[in-house]
Chain A
Amino acid sequence: MADGKKTLGQEISKGILKENPTLVMLLGMCPTLAVTTQAMNGIGMGLATTFVLLGSNIVISALRKVIPDKVRIPAFIVIIASFVTLIGFLLEGFLPSLYESLGIYLTLITVNCIIFGRAEMFASKNGVLASACDAIGMGIGFTLALFIMGSVREVIGAGQWMGMTIPVLHDSPMLLFIMPAGGFFTLGMIIAAVNKLTKKKPPQEIECAGCEGCPMAGGCDKKEAAE
């Protein structure tokens, strides 16, 4: 993956489809499920995350030789949390309505596995430019996934889409889809569709950055096999 042979364009494009953080690598599930009751919220959350990802990837990759290996996790967390505070201020000042609707999930970008995962897997090993491209690609992939989720849930669950009314569905929307249960269901269906389209078995070939800091480590087959 990080073999240095990839062009910058490939670094960007891999995050959108092949290594889509949400739909293929299954990271960052919490915001994916929580804020996607409307397509607009999905885009807002996606762009906010992209901003944080871009900032933290650039800073971490620039400092990767300065930060000692032992304290890298707290150091990464502080860098990420600072960018989250920054985007919180920006949204509160310029887009207060979005700030309201994202609510606590904006703060929770800090612990979004995508950002931490990219810092650990990519930015701490690659140059600044490559890390920035990686962040943009992953950010676009995340935003796209959130937009699709939000669109499906808003159209079926509320009969609207980006302020437009959908004729038949608006009269009798399936409310379940904007409730928590519908979130799980829609995401399951979308991931199944992605599996079908890419004609691939459920993702197993994920690049593993070691179990420390990996949210899935407790139930990971690789870890069990390694023990």
Chain B
Amino acid sequence: MKVFFVILLSAMLTDNFVLSKFMGICPFLGVSKKLNSAAGMGLAVTFVMICATMVTYPIHHGILVPNELEYFDTVVFILVIALFVQLVETMLKKCIPSLYKSLGVYLPLITTNCAVLGVTVLNIDNSYSFLESIVNSLGAGLGFMLSLVIFSGVRKKMEYADIPETFKGVPATLIAASIVSVSFMGFSGLFS
């Protein structure tokens, strides 16, 4: 039990995917303007991460390793993710239209989110067990959501700030992200 807790918290806080591993920066900068879209994107990514892990892990250990085809990881994983995103989109559309409506826009974008491919590959690289992998994906997804939600609050405040012309837009956003990242460095001693 303790192992799972450590994996969950370290994926969420100390090794936060966005702020210390730099994965999923594009949606982090693109979708963090509003709290609603930030939370929606975070939820969608968490969901796809867990589902993708559930599928890629058995594929890697059940099909690729016995046939010595480990080098196909990247190709297979990205296809699984792309297919899964499509599948989730179609299923949600049919079964839970309200959730589909709120997530709809973000679902296709998840295919090109490097955090999803990153977490599936990292699960294999770190040789986690099946359950540990799922917990790691959950932590990574929640951490992604956490940083997006926190940052959307920061950006809300930035709209009222008087920023020099040259820094308006992306530069100011990146420097704000740097400060948020410093605050996450405070978690680094958590599991020493």
Contact = CB atoms under 8 A, between A and B. Distances in A.
Given A30-B25, A111-B114, A184 B178 contact: yes
A81 B30 contact: no
A27 B26 CA distance: 8
B109 to A, nearest CB: 6
A8 interface: no
Contacts of B106: 218
Q: Which 5 A-B pairs give the minimum distances between C-beta atoms? A: A202-B169, A188-B174, A184-B178, A215-B26, A218-B31
Interface residues of B, number: 55
17 contacts: A30-B23, A30-B26, A81-B74, A88-B71, A108-B117, A111-B114, A181-B179, A181-B182, A185-B178, A188-B178, A189-B171, A189-B175, A195-B171, A201-B169, A215-B27, A215-B109, A218-B105
A34 B22 contact: yes
Contact of B33 (A26, A108, A176, A219): A219
A108 B111 CA distance: 12
Interface of B: 19-27, 29-34, 37, 41, 71-75, 78-79, 82-83, 105-106, 108-109, 111-114, 117-118, 121-122, 125, 166-175, 177-179, 181-182, 185
Contacts of B179: 181
A189 B164 CA distance: 13
B108 A187 contact: no
A217 B30 contact: yes
Given A104-B122, A180-B22, A219-B32, A26 B170 contact: yes
Interface residues of A, number: 52
A62 B95 CA distance: 40
Interface of A: 26-27, 29-31, 33-34, 73-74, 77-78, 81-82, 84-85, 88-89, 104, 107-108, 110-113, 116, 176, 179-185, 187-189, 191-192, 195-196, 201-203, 212-220
Contacts of A31: 22
A185 B121 CA distance: 28
Contacts of B108: 212-213
A227 B118 CA distance: 32
Given A82-B75, A213-B112, A179 B37 contact: no
Contacts of A85: 71-72, 74-75
A195 B166 contact: yes
A205 to B, nearest CB: 13
B178 A182 contact: yes
A223 to B, nearest CB: 8
A82 to B, nearest CB: 6
Most B C-beta atoms less than 10 A away, residue of A33, A89, A111: A111
B32 A181 contact: no
Nearest to A199: B166
Given A192-B166, A220-B30, A183 B22 contact: yes
Given A77-B79, A82-B75, A179-B185, A218 B30 contact: yes
A129 to B, nearest CB: 27
A187 B174 contact: yes
Nearest to B108: A212
- Residue of A179, A184, A189 with most partner-chain B CB within 10 A: A184
A176 B166 CA distance: 24
B115 to A, nearest CB: 9
